[in-house]
Chain A
Amino acid sequence: MSRSRDPREKRPWTFYALVTLMGVFLMFLYGPMFVIYLLSFQGPDGGVTFPMVGVSTWWFAEIWKPGQMANIPVSFNRSIALASVVCIITTVVAVAAGLGFRRRFTGSGVLFYLAVASLVMPSLLVGFGIGLAFQLFGWKTDLFTSALAAQLTWTLPFGLFAMFAVFNRFPRSYEEAATDLGATAWQRLRWITLPILMPGILGVAMGAFTLSYDEYARTTLVAGSRNTLPLEIYALLSSSTSPTLFAIGTLTTAVSFCVIGLTLFFILRVQRRRTGHA
């Protein structure tokens, strides 16, 4: 992607038009989110809109008080547990499948389109189908059975396509060199292929975690009696019009940001170490 260009070359007017577009788009993207972060620090007498009546963490404290919000901390723990399981399964299965798809095999077309279909299927219908199947079999829907299954139909195709993008940039010559030098297949996978793919694999893991952690539409019909955090937030929407909702939003977004930040940190560290040794 690097292009040699004279940096003194004058930028065309389209550049400035597009810079403006980019700036406006980023404001559009982040503006409303910052409004709710701000409003979640509303004073105890404030409402759900501006002006701010003082600054406090009153609405955050509300979350842990017994009462209406009692389910929020519990459901948060469930969401984290479910997202971790989804993350592990998605990463392992998607990386393996990504390796498999590097060769054409009988049925690869069918499996590819099955993954596409799973990704574009209206989300609620996935949960509906799984829920119906469970009912016909006489099973009870639950977090780590039906809800896990429903989320995998969303994170796995995503992980697979992300792996395709990762493999597109994969330099095969390294693998060939390893084989020529007498590496066994296990050595090649362990010391060449996986380390080169590591930043991409971390990206897939993060994607799977955050997609599961925030998933609503596929899970809602099959979560059973134990709700995840997004389901609890959804249930609060109709009943609560206090800044507590924004406080929950700020907290859950902060968790997402931590996960994203940690992943980026690890990816950068892997890349820095790589260039450092080169």
Chain B
Amino acid sequence: MSAVTEAAAIEAAVPARPKRRWRLSSRAVSWLQVSPLAIILIAFFALPTFTFLVVSFYDYDRIGIYPDFLLTNYEEVLSSSMTLRVYLSSLQFAFITWGITLVLGFFIAYFLIFHVRTRTMRTILFLACAIPFWTSGIIRTIAWIPFLGRNGAFNQGLMATGLTQTPLDFLLFSPFAVCITYIHLFTLLMIGPIANSMAKIDPALLEAARDAGASRWQTMVDVVIPLSKTGIALGSILVFTQVMGDFFVVKAMSGGQSASIVSALATEIQAMQYPPAAASAVILVTFVAFMVAGMMRVVDVRKELVR
């Protein structure tokens, strides 16, 4: 905390206090305050990322890895039919999940911000959406198993009401189960940023639109959506990257029918084939970075967050 103290101490030094002998520029103060964050992110995020970039060019055999500059690891990954298959599979999940969470998240955020009238009620409903996010993702994933299974609660309910005669089999251990779990886990990542953007919209704008004769639909399309596009972009980035980086849900819920990019990568890591795994990792990171950069072009995320 000393950085903060010093920093703030200097920042507040007013001319009326001639006793203070030294003074840092406000830029130096900011540097002191952010330096712990910068050191941790460089040491534990940037350097490890650089490490697997380097190792992706290494040679390897069953015993170890050897410094080298080979492109064979990339050739192997890029020429394998497995790679294309897992990318298509993960992208498919990502787009389905993205589409559904976007619609759900948008309307729930809209409801919370523009329809709920009291602040207390809004807080309670928002917490109700957020609290599961603070509990274990693994537990929330396996919670679907007794619910969706052949003898699960959902099938029992369907048969009890006479909607179906035989239990539905596609519910669990299927791509359907994977999508349901993703939506369950990640919709909050959409609600949060969109609600944050919507909260900044001046309600007078909506009234103005209505007074000017705009229909509810026109107000939504021409006023609300453009003004919440930062939140939409942020939420999309979060949901998209979470799905692309997942390996647990696909493993637990697809019943072996689907693979994800990262689950394929995890298999290589477990086999201690680090250089090809590193090459796959570099390709995945590049791919995700391009997608995120594309989404960030829509909005200046930074301007919206830091002011």
Asked if B3 contacts A133 (CB within 8 A), the reply is: no
Report Cα–Cα, A209/B129, bound state, in Å.
19
Picked from A93, A99, A132, A230, the residue with its CB within 8 Å of the CB of B48 is A132
- Residues of the B chain whose Cβ atoms lie less than 8 Å from the Cβ of A49: 146, 149, 151-153
In residues 229-285 of chain B, which contact A (Cβ within 8 Å)? Answer: 237-238, 241, 244-248, 252, 261-262, 265-266, 269, 274, 277-278, 281, 284-285
Determine whether the beta carbon of B37 is less than 8 Å from that of A93.
Answer: yes
Interface centre among B11, B127, B134, B156 (most CB of A within 10 A): B134
Q: Give the Cβ gap from B234 to chain A, nearest Cβ, in Å.
A: 9
Residue of A nearest to B48 (CB): A129
Chain B: minimal CB distance from A243 (Å): 9
Residues from chain B with Cβ under 8 Å of A21 in the complex: 104, 107-108, 111
CA distance A26 to B108 in the complex (A): 10
B307 close to chain A: CB less than 8 A: yes
Q: Provided the pairs A126-B45, A185-B11 are in contact, do residues A132 and B274 lie with their beta carbons within 8 angstroms?
A: yes
A3, A121, A129, A150: most-surrounded residue (chain B CB, <10 A) = A129
User: Given contacts A50-B156, A96-B4, A256-B135, are A118 and B45 in contact (CB under 8 A)?
Assistant: yes
**Contact of A35 with B147 in the complex, beta carbons under 8 Å:** yes
CB pair B146–A48 under 8 Å, yes or no, is yes
When A101-B306, A164-B306 are in contact, do A32 and B143 touch as well, CB less than 8 Å?
yes
Q: Say whether A99 contacts B8, CB under 8 Å.
A: yes
List which A153-205 residues lie within 8 A (CB) of chain B: 153, 156-157, 160-161, 164-165, 168, 179, 182-186, 188-189, 193
A149 at the interface (CB under 8 A from B): yes
Contact call B55/A125, Cβ cutoff below 8 A? no
Q: A149: which of B34, B43, B129, B307 is its contact (CB, 8 Å)?
A: B43
Contacts of B26 in A (CB 8 A): 103
Inter-chain CA distance A67–B296, complex, in Å, is: 51
Asked if B305 and A256 sit within 8 Å, CB to CB, the answer is no
Interface size of A by CB at 8 A reads: 108
Judge whether B203 is part of the interface by a CB distance below 8 angstroms. yes
**Contact of A179 (CB < 8 Å), options: B14, B129, B244, B248:** B14
A188→B8 CA distance, assembly (Å): 8
List, in ascending order, chain A residues with CB within 8 A of B143's CB.
Answer: 32-33, 35-36, 249
Partner of B51, one of A121, A136, A259: A136
Partner of A128, one of B8, B37, B52: B52
Q: Which residues of B contact A18 (CB under 8 A)?
A: 107-108, 110-111, 115
B301 at the interface (CB under 8 A from A): yes
Q: Report the Cα distance A32→B150, complex, angstroms.
A: 15
Q: Which residues of B contact A211 (CB under 8 A)?
A: 134
Task: Given A5-B117, A183-B12, A249-B136, verify A105-B306 contact (CB < 8 Å).
Answer: no
B42 within 8 A of A: yes
Asked whether B70 is an interface residue with its Cβ less than 8 Å from the other chain, the reply is no
Within 8 Å by CB of A156, from B29, B41, B52, lies B41
B31 at the interface (CB under 8 A from A): yes
A25 touches B104 (CB 8 A): yes
Query: CA A48 – CA B148 in complex, angstroms?
Result: 12
| A32 pairs with B8, CB closer than 8 A | no
Chain B positions within 8 Å of A87 at CB level? none
Decide if A25 touches B7 in the complex (CB within 8 Å): no
- Shortest Cβ distance from residue A275 to the other chain B in the assembled complex, whole angstroms: 13
User: Residue on A with the closest CB to B206?
Assistant: A3
Q: Considering the chains assembled together, what is the distance between the CA atoms of A157 and B136 in angstroms?
A: 19
Cα A11 to Cα B116 in complex, Å, equals: 11
Q: With contacts A124-B266, A214-B137 known, is A32 near B144, CB below 8 A? A: yes
Given A25-B187, A32-B147, do A96 and B265 touch, yes or no (CB 8 Å)?
Answer: no
Q: Which B residues lie within 8 Å of A207 (CB)? A: 134
Q: How far, in whole Å, are A30 and B147 apart by their CA atoms in the complex?
A: 11
Contact status of A128 and B277, CB under 8 A, knowing A214-B135, A252-B136: yes
Within 8 A of A (CB), among B113-144: 113, 115, 117, 119, 122, 125, 127-129, 131-132, 134-140, 142-144
Expressed in whole angstroms, the Cα–Cα distance for A130 and B44 within the complex equals 7
Contact B184 A253, beta carbon cutoff 8 Å: no
B36 within 8 A of A: yes
Inter-chain contacts of A133 with B (CB < 8 A): 47-48, 51
Q: Which residues of B contact A153 (CB under 8 A)?
A: 40-41, 44-45
Contact of B138 among A19, A96, A100, A230 (CB under 8 A): A230
Nearest-CB distance from B86 to chain A (Å)?
Answer: 13
Q: In the complex the two chains form, is B52's CB within 8 Å of A129's CB? A: yes
Q: How far is the CA of A113 from the CA of B289 in the complex (A)?
A: 11
Chain A CB count within 10 A is highest, among B3, B143, B152, for B143
Report A-chain residues with C-beta under 8 Å of the C-beta of B108: 18, 21-22, 25
- Which residues, 107 to 132 on A, are CB-close (under 8 Å) to B? 107-109, 111-126, 128-130, 132
Residues of B within 8 A of A116 (CB): 292, 301
Q: Return the chain B residue nearest A189 by Cβ.
A: B8
Known: A25-B104, A164-B305. 10 other contacts (CB 8 A): A18-B110, A21-B111, A32-B184, A96-B33, A97-B37, A120-B292, A179-B12, A214-B134, A233-B139, A249-B136
20 contacts across the A-B interface (CB closer than 8 A): A2-B119, A3-B117, A15-B115, A22-B111, A22-B125, A50-B146, A50-B152, A115-B41, A117-B289, A118-B41, A128-B265, A129-B52, A132-B55, A186-B8, A189-B8, A206-B134, A214-B134, A233-B138, A249-B142, A260-B131
